Structure 1
Amino acid sequence: MTGAIEQGTSQTHGNTHILHFLVRLPGTMESVWPALSTPEGLAAWFTAVDVLEPRLGGIVALRGLGAGEVTAWDVDRVAEYTVEGGGRIRFHLERGGDAGCLLRFTHEFQGEDGETEPSWRARFEILIEQLGRG
């Protein structure tokens, strides 16, 4: 199975911006999970991680976004990081067929300094490429 970015939307409500993506990823939920939930996995396609306690309420510090807390954690399914200055980033994996899975991604942030839809698309292309090689 090859990966694909199937949808990407951007919404603004006052000062709050919300980006949503639906990304088809090559690999099972279990094989994709480390790319979303470990410092090494996140650093390979997204950003360096200074601290990540892999549990609900754990501390997280994402380089360039800030420090905060793990606000959702369901192993092999959901990782959500809420950071000061960077807002909320949520990765939600779902089964997507024999050889793949779906990622429902949300990034919610305040102000004008957040990530843009094109920058997330570029990151997801890197993630798809890496998972396809694995």
Structure 2
Amino acid sequence: MSGSIAQGTSQTHGNMHILHFVVQLPQPMEDVWAAVATAEGLASWFTAAEVLEHRLGGAVTLRGLGSGRVTAWDVDRVAEYTLEGAGRIRFHLEREGEDGSVLRFTHEFQGEEDSEQRWRDRFERLIEALERDRA
């Protein structure tokens, strides 16, 4: 069984944009956590994390997006990165059944609207990366 991406939603409030996605995955939360909260995991599907301090307030630099701080950190559940110029990127994990998990994703940013399709493509790569690691 492979993962699935629910329809993304997009809201705009003035020049503030908020994208939401729900991604259902057959992998346990611990496996998905490694993909969204470690430099190696992020590089496998999203972008290189040149700096990633695994703690609240830690420094983070994501290639192509910018630098900032870890603004939420609850091991195995929530990783949130707030980047200068790229906004807030939040990964929230929940258990689903015995072996699965749900990733609730939010990207809140100002300025040019980031593409829902771009994030959908990224999540397809995440699903593929998790399936490769499982094999």
- Smaller-chain TM-score bracket: over 0.9
Structure 1 residues 78-97: aligned runs within 5 Å = 78-97=78-97
Structure 2 counterpart of 1:49, one-letter code: A
Question: Take 2:129 and 2:120, find their aligned partners in 1: how far apart are those partners?
Answer: 14
Shift of 1:70: 0.1
Structure 1 residues 47-66: aligned runs within 5 Å = 47-66=47-66
Shift of 1:99: 2.2
Matched, 1:100 2:103: no
Question: Take 1:7 and 1:30, find their aligned partners in 2: how far apart are those partners?
Answer: 24
Alpha-carbon RMSD = 1.0
Shift of 1:12: 0.6
Shift of 1:30: 0.9
Moved more, 81-90 or 6-15: 6-15
Structure 2 counterpart of 1:21, one-letter code: F
Q: Is the 8 A contact 1:10 1:19 kept in 2?
A: yes
What's the % identity of the aligned pairs?
A: 71
- Alignment match, 1:71: 71
When the two structures are superposed, what TM-score results if normalisation uses the length of structure 1? 0.96
- Alignment match, 1:132: 131
Moved more, 97-106 or 85-94: 97-106
- Alignment match, 2:27: 27
Shift of 1:92: 0.1
Q: Is the 8 A contact 1:70 1:80 kept in 2?
A: yes
Shift of 1:130: 1.5
When the two structures are superposed, what TM-score results if normalisation uses the length of structure 2? 0.95
Question: Take 2:65 and 2:129, find their aligned partners in 1: how far apart are those partners?
Answer: 23
How many residue pairs are counted as aligned between the two chains? Answer: 133
Instruction: Show structure 1 runs of 4+ deviating over 2 A.
Output: none
3-state SS, counterpart of residue 55 of structure 2: coil
3-state SS, counterpart of residue 40 of structure 1: helix
Q: Is the 8 A contact 1:9 1:21 kept in 2?
A: yes
- Alignment match, 1:123: 122
Shift of 1:32: 1.1
